[in-house]
Structures are given as C-alpha cells and as structure tokens.
Amino acid sequence: MTAAGEAVGLFERSYGAEPTQLWSAPGRVNLIGEHTDYNDGFVLPFAIDFRTVLALRPRSDGRIRVASTFADDVVDVEVNELGDIFPGDRDRVAEWARYPLGVVWALAELTGKTGHGADLAFASEVPVGAGLSSSAAIEAATATAIDALWNLGLDRPTLARASRRAENEAVGAPTGIMDQMASLLGEADSAIFLDCRSLDAEVVDLGFDGAGLELLVMDTRVSHAHSTGGYGDRRAACERGAKALGVRALRDVTIADLERARELLDDETFRRVRHIVTENQRVIDTVDTLAMAGPRAIGPLLDASHASMRDDFEISVPELDLAVETAREAGAIGARMTGGGFGGAAIALIERGTADTVARAVSRAFADAGYVAPSVFPVTAAGGARRDG
Ligand code: ADP
Ligand code: MG
C-alpha cells in the first residue's frame, strides 16, 4: 500500500472520520559536504522520492492529536498547553510525537499566533536511521500543514528554522538545518546549495536525468554505535582548530592557509581541519562542475570526499569503505559515505540501468566479508514538502 493509503487508513482507524487534507514531505541525501554544517560551511543535499505523508482534518476546538504507523497510541494535547510541555517537560509525550508537536510548538513560539487544533496521522516511506532524515520529513510535512492551517504565511526557510528548533529543543537532538532545508526546498533533479552561515539556499540543477545517471544508496545497516561520542569529538577538534587559527569557524580557513595550519596544529587536529577546509572547497567545486561540465564530471570530487572522511576525519568504517570501493569497481562514476559516519549509508553515482549490477556486486562483497547484508536502492531528486490533496 502507498504511504498515502496507509496514512488515510490510520486516520480513519484512529479518529473514526475521513481526513480532509493530505500533505507530504521527503527525506534527503547529502550529495557532498560532510561535517561542514557546524563549521559554518557549505552542504549540497537533495530531497528524495521517499516521503512521509500526513493525513489531516482541522478541528473546531484547540486539541491537537497525532497518530503514526510507528506507534500504537494517539497522543492528545491542547494547543495552548504546548508551551508547558516544551522544552522542559517534554517527557510527558512519547518521543516520536515530540517531532510533530515540537514543530507546532516552535511555530506558535515564533509567530506568537495559534489557531484551531487538528487531527493528524503520519505514514512514511523514509526508512528511519538509514541517514535519509525521516525526522526532517515528518517535521517538514507538519510545518507546511500547520502554516496553512493557521494562515501563518511563512516562507520555507522560516519553516525550516522552526523545524530545526523543534528537533533541537523539543526533541533534544543537536542537529543543523540542512535536512529541513532540503525537505522544504527540494525540486526535481535539483540539489540545495546551502551556506550554513548565512542560510542562503540556492536550488542547483543536478542534470542526472538528462545525463542518464542515477544515485544509489547503500545502507550498510551498521548502527552508529560510536556516533554520539565520535560526533562530539570531531566537533571539539574543529573548534580547537578554529581557535588556534584565530577564526570564528573553519569556514574562514582556505586551502592556502593549510600550510600555516600544519605548523600550528598537532597532526590529528590538522587532519580534522584539512577535511573541513577541503570539503568546503569540494562542495563549491561540485556546484561549479555541475554547471560547467555536467554531473558526469563530479565523480572525482565524490571519491576525494570519501578519502578525506576516511583518512583525515576518520569517521568511516570498513563496511562503508567496502561499499564505496565495490561500487566503483562495478562501474560507479563516484562514491562516498554520506551522513555523520561510524555507520549508516554510502552513495554512488551510477549509469542509469546499472543499479542492479552495482547492488549485486555490493551485496556479494558484503557476504564474502561476513558483513550483515546491506540494503541497496536507487533514489531520485524530488520535490519538497507539498499539499497532495
Ligand atoms: P533519521 O536519520 O531517519 O532522521 P533520526 O533519529 O533523526 O533518524 O529521526 C528518527 C526519529 O524520527 C524516529 O525514531 C521517530 O521518533 C521520528 N520519526 C520519523 N518519522 C516518523 C514517522 N513517520 N512517525 C513517527 N515518528 C517518526
Ligand atoms: Mg534525523
């Protein structure tokens, strides 16, 4: 069944009525630009053709009810009670419900306005924890729906900021704004070139369709066991590096500055810094290359990004390296791990029609190495959050 069908079915079972609106928002893949977000740098994500669907019916009172195919229970609150729940008393609601209710709260906080309540039911095609940002998808679907319900008239970057605030403060996850921007601003066959300092976002043509290319996601199913510690560690190294170099953030360090950085920093901090500085440049180079030479020419940048994360930032794992190497041997134009590291997924840019061949090669290599079977599937760059019915 489609996610829309599931959302409608769940709505009817949960609330005993039919929904009057359907909304959806996509997950995302980051094409290039890893760990650059918290260094005030650049990222290049795109929205994908896996969506979270929201079935909704406005209410005439101030109640908000949320249901999800992930959860057994409906969570039921009053709009004017959200300020008591978030952020301090968030334990009062189930963890998953903090994502949508946190967005409702953040929009009310931001605008000082609220409106009638609503009944909401979610179903999703975005796999959780595969690095495709199911969290941004549920947030963006909620944000666009509530913006319309309350006649807030907010632009999409503002909805992204409110969604991020929900994830940071209502859920308590310290994430950047990339995922929400991608889910809200995505367009078909396009990526979002995002400056994480100014939050300027530009939609850039990927041209995969015209060039006969596809993007394959290779989820290693390795869970991010060290991700919390490792992430904090890398962030600290970046802050240390920026401080020693006398800049506000590593965004302000150029490739030409690296020679001086090597003299000032210990070897490990230097390599962490070098990843960020070269990765920022690779994002800019990818945008330029897409425009000047087309998508086939970005392969070496994807490959260099992987090498930098493996050797300088040291956030890869053997499963990610194997997926990347095998994809390349099976004909991929370029491949890299994506996401925070220590597990999760890699991506490969491939010729259209070769997804099965590459997927089989990766699965075989994992079996030979004794690794858990990976989940390998193609994604296409798709439109952002929208009303579907
Ligand atoms: P991801 O990389 O998939 O974004 P996160 O840990 O950031 O992983 O977010 C996943 C969490 O988001 C889930 O554990 C759940 O709490 C919430 N979530 C995402 N999609 C849904 C959904 N359709 N229904 C309920 N909760 C969801
Ligand atoms: Mg997430």
* Tens digits of residue pLDDT in 115-171: 999 999 999 999 887 889 999 999 999 999 999 999 999 999 999 999 999 999 999
For the CA of 71, the nearest atom of ligand 1: 25
Pocket lining for ligand 1, CB < 6 angstroms: 52, 68, 70, 95-96, 99, 122, 124, 128-129, 131-135, 138
Q: Which of 211, 209, 217, 298 is nearest to 50 (CA)?
A: 217
For the CA of 138, the nearest atom of ligand 1: 20
What is the residue-averaged pLDDT of the chain?
A: 96
| Cα–ligand 2 centroid distance for 173 (angstroms) | 9
For the beta carbon of residue 352, count every other beta carbon within 10 angstroms.
12
For the question of residue 219 being annotated catalytic, the response is: no
**What pTM was estimated for this model as a whole?**
0.95
Domain 208-378 sits in CATH at 3.30.70.890
What mean pLDDT is predicted for residues 219-225? 83
* Tens digits of residue pLDDT in 325-345: 999 999 999 999 998 899 999
pLDDT-derived band at 228 (thresholds 50, 70, 90) equals: low
d(CA 359, CA 214) in angstroms, rounded, equals 13
Of 65, 66, 135, best ligand 1 pocket probe by most atoms within 8 Å of the beta carbon: 135
| Cα–ligand 2 centroid distance for 167 (angstroms) | 8
Ligand nearest to the CA of 128: 1
Domain 3-206+383-387 sits in CATH at 3.30.230.10
Residue 226 has pLDDT above 90, yes or no: no
| Cα–ligand 1 centroid distance for 128 (angstroms) | 6
Residue 265 has pLDDT above 60, yes or no: yes
Q: Which of 146, 154, 159, 82 is nearest to 119 (CA)?
A: 146
Q: Can you give the residue ranges of every domain in the chain?
A: 3-206+383-387, 208-378
